[in-house]
Amino acid sequence: MTDARNPPGTWQSVRDLPEFRRLLELRAVSQFGDGLFQAGLAGAILFSTERAATPNEIALSFAVMFLPYSLLGPFAGALLDRWDRRLVLIGANTGRLLLVLAVGAALAVGTGHLVLLLGALIVNGFTRFVSSGLSAALPHVVPRDKVLTMNSVATATGALATFLGANFMLLPRWLFGADDAGAAVVILLAAAPVLLALVLSVRFSPHVLGPDDSIRAVHGSVRYAVATGWVHGIRTVAAVPTVAATLGGLAAHRMAFGINTLLVLVIVRHSGDQEVAGLGLGIAVLFIAATGTGSFLSTVFTPAAVRRWGRYRTSNGALALAVVVQLLAAGLHLPVMIACGFVLGAAGQVVKLCADSAMQIDVDDALRGHVFTVQDALFWVTFVAAIAAAAAVIPVDGRSVPLVLAGSAVYLLGLAVHAGLGRRIPAD
């Protein structure tokens, strides 16, 4: 048997799992397109030479793009446990492709801010539905004893693809400009990987991605299943201690990340530099890249850490580290904040990987789609809520030590919630 701690053995396992390899290819292409689209949109809305976003406008942009689907997602998640997930992925990628083209066209003709946000909202909803479907399907193409390791491989691949997509945006932005016309080119380019994701979705055999029917499945009409999506999702989370504990820690991380994101965006946006549309975007991308790099690297060592200390202690350790590292950013020096973002990205990803594995291992497949969409809702609602709360008190130049300290307090609260709920978790 291959030792999962040996990297060659891990990649040999990937080669030996053809359906997982196809799932991995689909995730990589999908998230490259998402990274390109989101970065292009951020450039158009937050760092366009034709717009000047205030803290409240930044918060509103995030709220419009992420909150509506976060509230509706758990209802839609019932479909992942009701219909063939292959067909769901095909349908979601088709809708996503059409909307990406529409948003690109809207930018090209100079459509208003609100129309862009609404278009981005729908694209984002389709993208997150695809992501939840891929996560829920993973245990169908991976043996149970390899779920954590292969989930780390999938997450690392997706994170790298998103990072490459976001940074690829800088090339067409440099070539075609930082105005709406240049942003339209970026968005239209994102249609290519989305189209490829649609093609890759078709390759799977019917029903190979689930869902399984079981005694725990939600029966009745599709309308009933969708209407009760939130209820069954929340009930399942509450009934599985491993899921409840790690989602509590993950919510704390997302709130602190929201605070830190707004701080960096406002500081660079109000630097007083006339070239802020270019320099500010570069610094913001660097912060996101540092966070993403930390997240990526954590996918490498998390499986080994979990094998040694278990999911509970590993997540506790990551949250405790985050409490301390967040305090180091209190000086509000951008290089230090970027370095802290790297470590916090790693710590947060450890908690998310433990949450993902809990949902993939400890939750019945007939309810797994419900739970993944609840996680997605929590992931973004807490992020946007933190940005909105911070926007209400942040100074014009973004330099607020109390907000940094609040982030550390949030991490401490997340640690307390995880440690408390985790006492009910058997040793793993």
Res 81: pLDDT: 83
**Residue 109: CA atoms inside 13 Å, Cβ hemisphere, count?**
7
- d(CA 148, CA 131) in angstroms, rounded, equals 17
**Model pLDDT for residues 235-286, shown as the tens digit of each residue:** 999 999 999 999 999 999 999 999 999 998 888 776 654 444 444 556 777 8
Residue 426 gets which letter from DSSP?
Answer: P
Number of domains in the chain: 1
Short-list 310, 263, 301, 336, CA closest to 422 = 310
In a domain, 252, yes or no: yes
In a domain, 2, yes or no: no
In a domain, 1, yes or no: no
Q: How far is CA 63 from CA 108, 127, 250, 380, 386, in A?
A: 24, 16, 19, 9, 11
Q: Indicate the range of 91-100, 137-146, 193-202, 341-350 predicted with least confidence.
A: 137-146
Res 218: pLDDT: 66
Residue 330 has pLDDT above 60, yes or no: yes
Q: Token digits for 264? A: 């960096």
- d(CA 106, CA 99) in angstroms, rounded, equals 10
In a domain, 384, yes or no: yes
**Model pLDDT for residues 194-242, shown as the tens digit of each residue:** 999 999 999 999 989 988 766 566 666 667 777 777 888 899 999 999 9
In a domain, 373, yes or no: yes
- d(CA 39, CA 74) in angstroms, rounded, equals 26
Q: Euclidean distance between the first and final Cα of the chain, in Å?
A: 21
Res 282: pLDDT: 61
> Is residue 255 a contact partner of residue 411, using CB atoms and an 8 Å limit?
no
Higher pLDDT pick, 66 / 132: 132
Q: Indicate the range of 223-227, 322-326, 407-411 predicted with least confidence.
A: 223-227
- pTM to 2 decimals? 0.78
Res 275: pLDDT: 45
List the CATH number of the domain containing 275.
1.20.1250.20
> Is residue 211 a contact partner of residue 89, using CB atoms and an 8 Å limit?
no
In a domain, 427, yes or no: no
In a domain, 342, yes or no: yes
- d(CA 293, CA 400) in angstroms, rounded, equals 26
Mean pLDDT in residue range 157-176: 83
pLDDT band per the 50, 70, 90 thresholds, residue 181: confident
- d(CA 105, CA 238) in angstroms, rounded, equals 44
Mean pLDDT in residue range 320-332: 95
**Model pLDDT for residues 50-103, shown as the tens digit of each residue:** 555 567 767 777 777 777 777 777 877 778 888 899 999 999 999 999 999 998
Q: How far is CA 355 from CA 66, 131, 403, in A?
A: 21, 15, 27
- d(CA 404, CA 406) in angstroms, rounded, equals 5
Q: What is the rounded (10 degree) CA torsion for 419, 151, 258, 245?
A: -20
Mean pLDDT in residue range 400-406: 95
- d(CA 134, CA 88) in angstroms, rounded, equals 10
Q: How far is CA 85 from CA 194, 199, 228, 258, in A?
A: 18, 15, 19, 31
Residue 309: domain span: 7-422
Q: Indicate the range of 64-73, 139-148, 315-324 predicted with least confidence.
A: 64-73
Q: Which residue has the tokens 């399907």?
A: 137
- 307-329 in b/e form (b: 16+ CB < 10 A) is eeebbbbbbbebbbbbbebbbbb
| CB proximity list for 117: less than 8 A, separation 6 or greater | 45, 61, 64, 65
Q: How far is CA 344 from CA 18, 190, 260, 286, in A?
A: 34, 29, 10, 14
* CB neighbours of residue 181 within 10 Å: 14
Res 13: pLDDT: 72
Higher pLDDT pick, 350 / 425: 350
Q: Indicate the range of 22-31, 126-135, 263-272 predicted with least confidence.
A: 263-272
Q: What is the rounded (10 degree) CA torsion for 305, 424, 319, 56?
A: 130
- d(CA 167, CA 127) in angstroms, rounded, equals 19
In a domain, 74, yes or no: yes
> Is residue 250 a contact partner of residue 355, using CB atoms and an 8 Å limit?
yes
**Model pLDDT for residues 35-50, shown as the tens digit of each residue:** 899 888 776 666 555 5
Residue 296 has pLDDT above 60, yes or no: yes
Residue 356 has pLDDT above 90, yes or no: yes
Residue 406 has pLDDT above 50, yes or no: yes
**Mean pLDDT of all residues in the chain?**
84
Res 230: pLDDT: 83
| Helices 401-422, 365-391: crossing angle, 10 deg rounding | 160
Residue 387 has pLDDT above 70, yes or no: yes
